[in-house]
Structure formats: C-alpha cells, structure tokens
Structure 1
Amino acid sequence: MKTAVITGAGSGIGQAVALRLAEEKHHIVILDFDTEAGGKTADTIKAAGGSAECLACDVSNTESVAKAFEQISEVHILVNNAGIAAIGNVETCSPEELDKIYGVNVKGIYHCLHYAIPKMLSTGEGAIVNLASIASKVGIQDRFAYSMSKGAALSMTLSVARDYVDKNIRCNCVCPARVHTPFVDGYLEKNYPEDELAEMFSKLSEYQPIGRMGKPEEIAELIAFLTSDKAGFITGSAYDIDGGVTLLR
C-alpha cells in the first residue's frame, strides 16, 4: 500500500483527490489547517473501507509542516493542493496580502516538497503533483498575487522534475481553469446580492469556452493518472485542464 499525502483535502479539489486516490487502495494522509473538514474526508474514506488519517498542518509554517511529516513514515505520492486566492492588481495588492499568498501558495509547496522528497528517496520512488493554474500561463485580470504564486508552482514543478529525474521521482503540475468548488459559491455569496447570483454564476461558467466550470472530480481523475504507474514516463509537464481557455488565447 502506497502512502499519498494531500494538502487541503477538507473540501473542493483536494477532497476529490483524496477520495479518488483512496480508490487506488493508497493510504491517504490529509494535511489540513481545518482538521474538522479534513477529518470528515478521512472518515468518509474509512467508512468506504479505505485507509486514511488527518494531521493538523499549516502549510505556511515551517515547524507545523516539519511536525506533520515527522508523523509520516513513508511518502510515495504528494499532492500539493492547499491554496488561497486573491483579487486585485499590483496597486491594490498590499504587502500583507502578497506575503499571505506567498506563504500558503508558494512556501506551502516548498515546505511539503522539502520534507516529502527525502522520504521518497528512502522509499525509492515518488510521484508529485502540484496544483498550478491557467494563471501560470496566461494573464488574468486582477489576479496579480494569485498569478505570481501559481507561476511559482509551475517553476518549482520544473525544477524538482529536473533535479530528481534520475532518482525515480516524478513531478508534474495541473493547470485548471475555474472549477466549481465551495470556494466559488462562497465568493459569489459574499460579493453579490442574491438576485445577481445566477447571472454571475453563468458569467463565471461562460469564461470557459466549453461553457461550464470544471468539476473537482475531473481534476482528481487527471491527478490520479499522473500519480499512477501508468504515467511513469511523464515528468516536468504542466497539464491544462481548462475547458478550452488557453486554446483560444
């Protein structure tokens, strides 16, 4: 049984990834700041006959990540999913907001790579998937800090893939467009009156030329492939899963 470590799996894409990788009979280790949400995902996996646990972890904090990985004996798969969003351009982005985005979306990936890769070297194999974004590749209006962080996710993917290509450790990233998660619903409810929600949901959906947002399960299916032995010849790649957004750019 392989051990798959997934950050931020209490909801959305991370939760879908945890549930999907559990179907591959992996032991799932969820690292989540929200242990209640992460614990519910682990309980769902165990109720279905799988193996899972949730460890408290703030990916932006070095000591927190180090402590979490001290409790994990082996790591075969790592999915760096935890992330936060920010809206605004370089003028409206405050230094504090930039630091917060950097701490979670960039340093969080670094921390998990830093502590997981030695364990992968010990086990003799590793498959890593980082959650990047179409923002890694195209300019998106009013997403300065977020785009910065996702560009870094792509760059770190390439760097790790190159450094460990001869160590049986593969590293790839996925670049989704907008995915329908609880975050999207919360964003709409927070920023728009009830009578505008349906219209704004349609606008967010139509941004993707295919006419809808992605589903967390669709992202999870791609990640399941990239972390499997079937993808053994793939490393250093960034996979668009975007409903045609980059196709028409």
Structure 2
Amino acid sequence: MELGLKGKVAVITGSSKGIGYYTAMQLVKEGVKVVLCARGEKQLQVAAGCIKNETGEDVLIVPTDITKEKDCKYLIERAVEHFGRLDILINNAGTASANSFESVSSELWQADVDLKVFGAVNCSKYAVPHLRKVGGGAIVNVTAVMAKTPPASSLPSTVSRAAGLALTKAMSKDLGKDNIRVNSVCIGLIRSDQIEKTWKEAEPELSWDEYSRKVGQAIPLGRVGETQEAANVITFLVSDAASYVTGTSVNIDGGSGHAL
C-alpha cells in the first residue's frame, strides 16, 4: 500500500522513547522528515542516534516542555524553520497517573491537564496555520482506552485523556474544511519501559512472550501489545491511505476495552 508520506514533515511530542519513538522510526522509514521532542535532551540525542543508525537519516531534536505554551510555539516554529513546512502533528506526550478521587491533589490535577490537554491544545494551535499553508495535514492525539470507560482509581489520567477525545472530535469538525484531519488512538496495555522493568524484576525466568501471555490473559488477543503495533496504526492515520478518516478514535488494546 502506498502511504504517500515521502517528503512530509512531522512533529512528534514525547518521542524520545516508547510509542513516540517507534512512530518516529516508522515515519522516517516511510520518507518523512521528523522532529523529536521531549523534556530530556540527552534521551533525545540517544533516540536520534538510534534512528540514524537504523535508517541513515537525521532527525531534528527540540527539547521541549509542552506544559509551557512558549515552548510549544518554539517547537513548531523551529520545525518549520528547519524543514520549511509542516504536515503532521502527533500529540503523544503524557504520563500515567492513576489514583482515587480523594487522593488527587489540586497540583496533580493541574499538572496532568497542563501536560495532556493544554500540551496538545497549544501544539495544535501553532501547528494548524502551517498545516493549512500546505493544503492540509493530519493530527493524531494519543489517548488511553480507559478514557472511554474510566474504572475506579484512574484519576486524573482518564479525565484528561477523555478531554483529548473531545478535543479530537471538536477539532475535526472545525478543521475539516481545511483538509486537516484529526484522529485519536486509545492505547491499552502496550509494551513499555515500566512493563519491561516489572517483568525483569518479578519473573526474569520467563521469556518476554511468556510474560506477555501471562499478563495478557484477560485480553481477548491474549498478550501485551507491542510498541510497534501502536506505531503502525498511527502511521496509517497520518498517511494518505487514511485520507477520508477524521474525527474518530481507534482502540489499540487487543480487544480489552469495553467501548467502541
């Protein structure tokens, strides 16, 4: 399938590791010019080096704290200054914070909303004019499957992630006239540094496949998802192959979610 991505430019937040990094790697392989951003410059340099080693291509790194609007503005301006255009924005930055309602402080509520909601809002705010200039583009907001059906003790993450779903739908309605598509992916249990740490500390005698199947017994597909599998879906959504897809959310959860 021809994805039509060659020569496009993408900004990916939270891309020094995990889903953001794997998506960056996949997009570079498809011929996309990629801008990596995260708070830590050292980890960004490591990620950029790994991409260079595997693909032979350079990426631009921009250390960014997306909880600060001025950083979001600089990130987008630097990307356009360096590559001359912008076609794709992937709002991936975020952390998991799961607590009971009464245990969440006002400071934690604010920090979570600043990162996951206003980070996406501000990056999008500064990206949209540049997407419009090139005749359209794609935005993907990375959220969580639990945002659709929040369980107990899942705050504040499920609330801020649910806001990300509403943001996706509203933006898609406003920006469709400019051929700017906005979608979201809802992440379930996906292989991560934290899961790997738990595996190696708790049951190092098991192979990853064995541990994945054990942890994923309650998931219909019977295993933990691979990070690359999430990257594949995001790559599709920002490509020309998904040119008539906007305002929707795609669960990447092995069937574990309780909502479409």
Same fold (TM over 0.5): yes
3-state SS, counterpart of residue 129 of structure 2:
helix
The amino acid of 1:36's aligned partner reads K
Number of the residue aligned with 2:167: 156
Q: Is the 8 A contact 1:26 1:51 kept in 2?
A: no
Mark the CA change 1:90 to 1:169 in structure 2 (over 3 Å): closer, same or farther. same
SS of residue paired to 2:127: helix
Distance 1:100 1:247, change over 3 A: closer
The answer as to 2:83 corresponding to 1:72 is no
Equivalent in the alignment of 2:106: 95
Equivalent positions of 1:41-52 (< 5 A) are 41-47=47-53, 48-52=55-59
Structure 2 residue 34 is matched with structure 1 residue 25: no
Q: What pairs up with 1:195-214 in 2 under 5 angstroms? A: 204-214=215-225
Distance 1:176 1:200 in 2: 19
Q: Secondary structure at the match of 2:101?
A: coil
Alignment of 1:120-139 (within 5 A): 120-139=131-150
List per-residue Cα deviations over 1:192-245 (Å, max 9, x = no partner): x74799899777433423221111100000011111101001000101121111
User: Aligned AA for 2:146?
Assistant: A
Going from structure 1 to structure 2, the CA distance change for 1:184 and 1:106 (only over 3 Å counts) comes to: farther
Q: Give CA-to-partner distance per residue, 1:50-93, whole Å, 9 cap, x none.
A: 23111010011111111222212121011111101112111111
Helix, strand or coil at the partner of 2:56: coil
Contact map agreement 1:85 1:101 (CA 8 A) in 2:
no
Q: Does the 8 Å contact 1:25/1:50 carry over to 2?
A: no
Query: Quick check: 2:186–2:251 contact (8 Å CA) kept in 1?
Result: yes
Cross-structure match for 2:94: 83
Q: How many angstroms apart in 1 are the aligned matches of 2:164 and 2:218?
A: 23
Structure 2 residue matching 1:165: 3-state secondary structure: helix
TM-score normalised per structure 1: 0.91
1: CA distance, partners of 2:192 / 2:253? 15
1:138-159, Cα deviation, whole Å (9 max, x unpaired): 1223112010011011111101
State the percentage of identical aligned residues: 30
Change (3 A) 1:196 1:141: farther
User: How big is the shift at 1:110?
Assistant: 0.8
Q: Once the 2 structures are TM-superposed, how far is the Cα of residue 13 of structure 1 from its aligned partner?
A: 0.7
Out of 227, 234, 246, the residue aligned to residue 245 of structure 2 is: 234
Distance 1:60 1:248, change over 3 A: closer
Contact 2:117 2:163 in 1 (8 A): yes
Aligned partner of 1:58 in structure 2 is 65
Query: What SS does the corresponding residue of 1:4 show, helix, strand or coil?
Result: strand
Using the TM superposition, give the Cα deviation of residue 180 of structure 1 relative to its aligned residue in structure 2, in angstroms. Answer: 1.1
**Structure 1: which 5+ residue stretches go unaligned?**
none
Q: Secondary structure at the match of 1:183?
A: helix
Partners of 2:213 and 2:224 within 8 A in 1? no
What CA RMSD, in Å, does the superposition of the two structures yield over aligned residues? 2.4
Separation in structure 1 between the aligned mates of residue 257 and residue 202 of structure 2, nearest angstrom: 31
Alpha-carbon spacing, 1:7–1:36, altered in 2? closer, same or farther (3 Å): same
What is the total number of aligned residue pairs between the two structures?
A: 246
Gaps of 5+ in 2: 1-6
Please give the secondary structure, in 2, of the residue aligned with 1:6.
Answer: strand
Deviation at 1:169, TM superposition (A): 0.4
